[in-house]
Every structure is written in C-alpha cells, then in structure tokens.
Amino acid sequence: MPHLRRSFLRWLIRDVVPFDIPAEDGSPYLRRWVVTKLGVRFFVHHYLKNDPEPWLHDHPWWAVGIPIIGSYLEERLVRLCPVHGRVTKKRYIGTLRPNFIRTNVFHKIAAVNSGTWTLFFHGKRTGAFGFLETELKGDRWETRYHQPKDFVLEYSRNLMETDDG
C-alpha cells in the first residue's frame, strides 16, 4: 500500500516546481508544492524537520491536513494562563488520518517522522498568518501575537491572496 501512495504523490507533483520554507538557520524544514488537479487547488507538503519556531501559529483559513506517508505529533493551544503560560495538548496524527484545523486554532508540528508527506486542503482566506509568543515576565506569563515578516511566509501569503476558493 505505501507503494501506491508514493505513486499517487509522484503523479500529483509531476511538473510542479516546489519551494522550500526555511528554518531560522536557512535550511529547509518544509518543501511545498501548490497543486491544481481536477479543478481543486491544494498543497503537497514534504516535512523535512519539525516546525522550527518555538511558537504556535494559526492559519488564515480552515484547513484539513492528511498524512499520505508518515505521521506527526501536533501541539495545539488549549488556553492561555497568566500563571502557567500556554497550556497545550499533543495529538498523534497517523497515516491517512485527517487533521481538521479551524481558522483560530493555534498549533505547531511538534515532532514529525522523517519522510512524512501530507495533502493540505484549505478554505477561503478569512484572516492572516500569525504567531503566538509567550514569555515569562517576573511571576506572570505575557502573550504577544505577531504576524510573520519572513519572506517565504509573505510569498505563501501572496499565493493565498490570489486564491478565490
């Protein structure tokens, strides 16, 4: 069965040029293909490493990620607490298990199995990408939300602005 999934992925990304999303050190952590097949536009992601940022992020649209090969551990925000900071839960997302992500959900890929490939479908853009930073100041946690300035995320954002679906 993995052989069929690999063949399916090769067919999806055939003739599509990927772009790499870099970690802070400049090395890629995610390779992305923007694919349109049968009138549907979506991403194919090949995870090379865990999310490099220590912060959780959100997306400008609802999304569904489906690991076709491999699996990952997702960390999601449960709540913010002035005493404990960010309270999260971790969920294992196995092969072929859909991961539904609402627009306002803060999360990150905490651990990824080497060679994980996912399909990533999304809805219409309704917001902006953002990161949720938490920092201990004295005896209380402070939270700051900021938008990315990274050129690759800007490139990704520009791709989404041209998407009408």
The band of 16, judged by pLDDT with boundaries at 50, 70 and 90, is very high
pTM: 0.79
Where are the chain's structural domains? 2-161
The band of 114, judged by pLDDT with boundaries at 50, 70 and 90, is confident
**118, two tokens:** 């996912």
Does the domain at 2-161 match CATH 3.50.50.60? Answer given as no
Mean per-residue pLDDT, 94-115: 91
Q: What are phi and psi of 51, to 5 degrees?
A: -55, 125
pLDDT > 70? residue 136: no
Higher pLDDT, 31 or 136: 31
Question: How far is residue 117's CA from residue 105's CA, in Å, rounded to a whole number?
Answer: 22
Higher pLDDT, 7 or 164: 7
Q: What is the three-class DSSP state of 96?
A: coil
Nearest to 73 by CA among 61, 89, 58, 85: 89
pLDDT of residue 155: 41
pLDDT > 50? residue 151: no
Q: How far is CA 61 from the centre of its chain?
A: 12
pLDDT digits (tens, 9 = 90+) for 60-70: 889 999 999 99
